Amino acid sequence: MAKVSLLGVPHDANSSFLRGAADAPPLIRRELYCDAYSIWSESGIDLSVPGRLVDHGDVAFEPTTDAWKSIEDHVDRLCGSGDRLICLGGDHAITHPIMRAVRRHHPKLTILHIDAHADLYDSYLGNPRSHASPFARIMEERLADRLIQVGLRTINDHHREQFKRFGVEVVEAARCGESLQIRLDTPVYLSLDMDGLDPAHAPGVSHREPGGLSTRQVIRLIQSIDQPVVAADIVEFNPRNDIGNMTATVAAKLTKEIAGIMLR
């Protein structure tokens, strides 16, 4: 039976504004397994079937080991099993070491990245590992064949230079209509920053940016992916800024929908 592995990556040391994203994984899990909600995905997958959604706990970070190596080693081990993988962050910086491991197992790969921000700074505040920089590192290391960014609404001139440098395909938030569909021709890595959603739907983030996608738009985009989704991350949920567990509930809902398309 095909299965999805779940891995928490509670790391936010490279956040530039507020800490708190490291607290997210257990709160997403709490909503994911809460009896108040259905564990079925909208695509018709029962995630309560034993062995279908396997939780591997959280990466444990030791002060004597580079956090990037710890993340990469855990992801490499889980990808080696052939199962699909969803990582619960954490800030967006963690996507870089995750992708180092995922790429090892997938010679053809497209990243579909949903976010308010491009996260393509060559370095941010002097930190090349900043959560504002992971996709610059990923594209420098050729960890993906294509990078498609959806929902952006904070683009500046440096980002535009980086788009040209790396051949990034961009669908700004203003162009995200109800019928948006992305043409894909390789397996997909889905990177979902919770601030890609409008803060009316997901207020529990460190960098609220009005004018974003609705929860339904994101679900519709996820469901429209017509290539295998081999791995994904859900990042930048900051419980310290949440209101009534709203963002935790949305993150859990999106976890179910991603798992559902992985298993369809």
Binding-site residue ranges for Mn(2+): 92, 115, 117, 119, 193, 195
Binding-site entries: 92, 115, 117, 119, 193, 195
Spatial contact of 24 and 238, defined as CB atoms under 8 Å apart: yes
Would you give the DSSP letter of residue 253? H
Of 145, 72, 156, which Cα lies nearest the Cα of 119? 156
- CA 111/CA 191 separation, integer angstroms: 7
Please give the sequence-ordered ranges of beta strands (E in DSSP) within the chain, or none if there are none. Answer: 4-9, 53-58, 84-89, 110-114, 146-152, 169-172, 188-193, 229-235
Which tokens belong to 66?
A: 């580079």
CB 147, CB 138: distance < 8 Å: yes
CA-nearest of 87, 111, 84, 113 to 98 is: 87
Contact 235, 252 (CB under 8 A): no
